[in-house]
């Protein structure tokens, strides 16, 4: 069961198309996994479309008269089930540390990078276009842990597979977790997990000799 969701403001910004690529990927992927948010997003998107149409009523009428509806229907009827299937978005598959994961379609065409890693932590950096925030797939192998840290900016984590726990909670697949400088934690996973993270500033390690942890901080950021 999914316990953590994007808030309504974030869903609305997504419906309006205002989120950057990294955050839009996180919200889209969550909505593929979460029927509740999928439903809310569909309602918001419909509402945005209605508003846009009522604002451009005249141009919409021009558009309707400029397309040939018969032509359009004919080409839709000619689509065979096979050609429809080939047009459906495909899931992205990634392999790391001998595990294979099927990711939500939001990640397709984004997962062609290589993994880098230290110990049980592996990271694949994803494209964020011009945004200053960084997006990664993060795999933590069974028994792995990230040293205690807090966040200088905001960190969004979408848990894709497996579970992890920190001082606050235990998280499962689909959970959409937003943390900032008020949260200090050391996530651990017993079974291993795969997350998608969007971070807009480096992590700040709160224990130990932080210099030693810098390579991990750099890897996760």
Binding residues vs Zn ion (CB under 5 A)? 5, 34, 36-37
* Residue among 10 and 193 whose Cβ is closer to Zn ion: 10
Q: Determine how many CB atoms are found less than 10 A away from the CB of residue 142.
A: 13
Q: Determine how many CB atoms are found less than 10 A away from the CB of residue 28.
A: 18
Place of tokens 């008269």: 65
Q: Which whole-number Å values give the CA distances from 191 to 1, 161, 164, in the listed order? A: 17, 10, 8
d(CA 178, CA 156): 5
Closest separation between CB of residue 185 and Zn ion, Å?
21
* Residue among 158 and 179 whose Cβ is closer to Zn ion: 158
Tell whether the torsion through CA atoms of 203, 113, 29 and 131 is positive or negative.
positive
Closest separation between CB of residue 220 and Zn ion, Å?
24
* Residue among 34 and 146 whose Cβ is closer to Zn ion: 34
Closest separation between CB of residue 89 and Zn ion, Å?
20
Closest separation between CB of residue 53 and Zn ion, Å?
27
């Amino acid at each position: 069961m999914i316990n953590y969701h994007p808030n309504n403001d974030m869903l609305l910004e997504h419906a309006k198309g205002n989120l950057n690529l990294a955050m839009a990927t996180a919200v889209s992927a969550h909505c593929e996994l979460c029927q509740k948010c999928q439903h809310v997003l569909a309602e918001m998107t419909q509402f945005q479309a209605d508003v846009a149409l009522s604002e451009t009523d005249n141009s919409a009428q021009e558009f309707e008269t400029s397309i040939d509806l018969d032509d359009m229907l004919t080409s839709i009827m000619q689509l065979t089930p096979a050609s429809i299937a080939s047009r459906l978005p495909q899931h992205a598959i990634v392999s790391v540390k001998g595990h294979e994961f099927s990711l939500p379609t939001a990640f397709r065409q984004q997962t062609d990078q290589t993994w880098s890693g230290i110990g049980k932590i592996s990271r694949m950096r994803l494209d964020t276009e011009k945004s200053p925030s960084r997006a990664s797939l993060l795999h933590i192998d069974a028994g792995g842990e990230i040293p205690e840290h807090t966040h200088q900016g905001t960190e969004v984590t979408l848990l894709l597979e497996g579970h992890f726990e920190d001082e606050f909670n235990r998280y499962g697949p689909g959970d959409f977790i937003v943390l900032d400088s008020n949260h200090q934690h050391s996530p651990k996973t017993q079974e291993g997990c795969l997350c998608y993270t969007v971070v807009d500033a480096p992590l700040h390690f709160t224990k130990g000799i932080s210099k030693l942890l810098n390579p991990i901080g750099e890897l996760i950021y």
